[in-house]
Amino acid sequence: MLKQDSPILQEEIRSPRVAVERLLLTDFRSYERAVIEPGGHNAVFIGPNGAGKTNLLEAVSFLAPGRGLRQCKLSQVTKLGAGGSWAVASRLDTPDGQMEIGTGLAPRSSAASFTGGAEETLDRRIVRIDGETVSSPAVLGDFVQLIWLTPQMDRLFLEAASGRRRFLDRIVAGFHPAHTREVNAFEKVMRDRNRLLSEGSADASWLSALEARMAEHGVAIAAARLQALDHLAGAIEVTTSSFPRAHLSLDGELESGLRDRPAVEMEDSYAETLAGMRAQDSRAGRTLSGPHRTDLLVRHVDKDMPAELCSTGEQKALLIGITLASARLTALHFGAAPILLLDEVAAHLDEVRRASLFDELWSIGSQVWMTGTDRSLFDSLGDRAVVYRVDEGRIEKDE
């Protein structure tokens, strides 16, 4: 137990945050059943490769909308040999009091009744907030903000734009929770338009109606991205950090247009573009223009160099810097510090950088979940975390 005068308790009083008090996993990856009770404190998981550390962070990542930090099919999450469903149940401490969030892949029959029986929606997850089933996982964004960094993201600046766009949209959602709904709505209408175009006999007025809705959602997405990025730039500008400063910009037609034209004008212009590209899009089998093609461009300010040309370590440091800045931004705009999931982050940093990372995390006030193979990586955290040993699926507190 922590003493009443512990710095952890003092910190909790100072910064509003959303934090996990208790987590229960059922048939989730390597765990048939697991319970973790960090009680709102930072949690560190130490264990050998394959022990089940990342699986625990992934379980927390399902408290946000989307497909979790591994971005995989929901059915792959179910413990091998355990039938169809998995579940994560949590008790959270929030500025508005305690809340319970449960989520998981439902057994076939309840998924079908939940989604009106549609065959294609069976791989959907169910979300319950305080016992009530909600209409869509996107609702989670109104209550919990999560930011994660995983070793797979080390190649974020080198790989396809889709990864950077997802990273960007998660940052934007921390600033503007309705963003996830806008992105989902845009993608749904775009799929409808693509389907109509592929059928060949599409009614022009029907297409125009879909394109008008795409334009509305598309411009809202672009505007939210621009606004969040401007605020992020401000947050990076005013904070001293031991991680390099990043300059972020957007390479997208709607985002560039919005810099000097009003939103209504951009909506008309994008709807016109879509109407003019029907034949081309039909041949391509997809929509060639829109916010789903935007790329996030990152530069290392002090080196004046694009991120993709920086060294592996520099790229990692840039990512950490952006993550810290967006956590600060989320804390400010969402009104509560986000939960941070940092998988294998400490291992890549020297001792001084590690200590500064822990201090910066502490000053943001977020609950942080971290993993590592070696206990000594977390020495400079002191008593600012509950440390667990994980081995072959067993989780024990390191006293």
Ligand X SMILES: Nc1ncnc2c1ncn2[C@@H]1O[C@H](COP(=O)(O)OP(=O)(O)OP(=O)(O)O)[C@@H](O)[C@H]1O
Per CB under 6 A, residues contacting ligand X are 29-30, 47, 49-55, 76, 78-80, 373
Question: How many residues interact with Mg ion (rule CB under 5 A)?
Answer: 1
CA atoms within 13 A on the CB side of 151: 11
Stretch that binds Mg ion, among 53-61, 254-262, 302-310, 333-341 (CB under 5 A): 53-61
CA–CA separation, 166 vs 176, rounded Å? 15
Q: How far is CA 50 from CA 38, 58, 265, 373, 391, in A?
A: 22, 14, 53, 10, 8
Using the minimum distance from each CB to ligand X, give the nearer residue, 49 or 201.
49
Q: How far apart are the first and last CA of the chain?
A: 11
Rounded to 5 degrees, what are φ and ψ at 33?
-155, 135
To ligand X, the closest distance from the beta carbon of 76 in angstroms equals 6
* Separation in Å, CA 349 to CA 136, 344, 346: 38, 10, 6
Smallest distance from the beta carbon of 150 to Mg ion, in angstroms?
A: 8
Cα–Cα distance, 322 to 324 (Å, whole number): 5
Choose the contact partner of 80 out of Mg ion, ligand X, none; CB within 5 to 8 A by kind.
Answer: ligand X
Measured from the CB atom, the residue of 26 and 373 that comes closer to ligand X is 373
Q: Which of residues 52 and 244 has its CB atom nearest to Mg ion in the complex?
A: 52
State the minimum distance, in angstroms, from the CB of residue 320 to Mg ion: 17
Residue 389 parent element (H or E): strand 386-391
Closest to ligand X by CB, 49 vs 135, is 49
Question: Tokens standing for 316?
Answer: 């990692």
| Residue with Cβ nearer Mg ion (129 or 341) | 341
> For residue 280, how many other CB atoms are within 10 A of its CB?
12
Q: Which is nearer to ligand X, 69 or 250 (CB)?
A: 69
Stretch that binds Mg ion, among 52-60, 349-357, 359-367, 375-383 (CB under 5 A): 52-60
Cα distance between residue 308 and residue 314, in whole Å: 10
Task: Name the closest residue to Mg ion (Cβ).
Answer: 54
Q: Does residue 315 belong to the site contacting Mg ion (CB under 5 A)? A: no
Select from Mg ion, ligand X, none the partner in contact with residue 66, using the beta carbon and a kind-dependent cut-off of 5 to 8 Å. none
Measured between alpha carbons, how far is 44 from 357 in angstroms, rounded to an integer? 14
Chain residues 242-301 in contact with Mg ion, contact rule CB under 5 A? none
Furthest CA-CA distance within the chain: 72
**Min CB(168)–Mg ion separation in Å:** 24
Judged by beta carbon, residue 62 or residue 186, the one nearer Mg ion is: 62
* Least CB distance to ligand X at residue 319 (A): 18
54 binds Mg ion (CB under 5 A): yes
Minimal distance in Å, beta carbon 227 to ligand X? 36
The SS3 of residue 62 is: coil
Task: Please state the closest distance from residue 295 (CB atom) to ligand X, in A.
Answer: 29
Backbone angles phi, psi at 40, to 5 degrees: 90, -10
Answer yes or no: are the C-beta atoms of 281 and 287 closer than 8 Å: yes
Tokens (6 digits) for 42: 């930072």
Contact 238, 245 (CB under 8 A): no
Q: Which stretch binds Mg ion (CB under 5 A): 38-46, 50-58, 125-133, 386-394?
A: 50-58
- The distance of closest approach from Cβ of residue 343 to ligand X in the complex, given in angstroms and rounded to an integer, is 7
Instruction: Reduce the DSSP state of residue 371 to 3 states and report it.
Output: strand
Q: How far is the CB of 48 from Mg ion (least distance, A)?
A: 10
Q: How far is the CB of 390 from Mg ion (least distance, A)?
A: 10
- The listed partner (Mg ion, ligand X, none) that binds 83, CB under 5 to 8 Å by sort, is none
> Rounded CA gap, 17 and 149, in Å?
19
Residue 136 interacts with which of ligand X, Mg ion, none, CB < 5 to 8 Å by class: none
User: Is 54 or 326 the residue whose CB approaches Mg ion more closely?
Assistant: 54
Question: 329 vs 390, which CB is nearer to ligand X?
Answer: 390
Q: How far apart are CA 140 and CA 184, in angstroms?
A: 14
Q: For residues 198 and 312, which CB has a smaller minimum distance to ligand X in the complex?
A: 312
Give the separation between CA 298 and CA 307, rounded to whole angstroms: 6
Q: Which residues bind Mg ion (CB under 5 A)?
A: 54
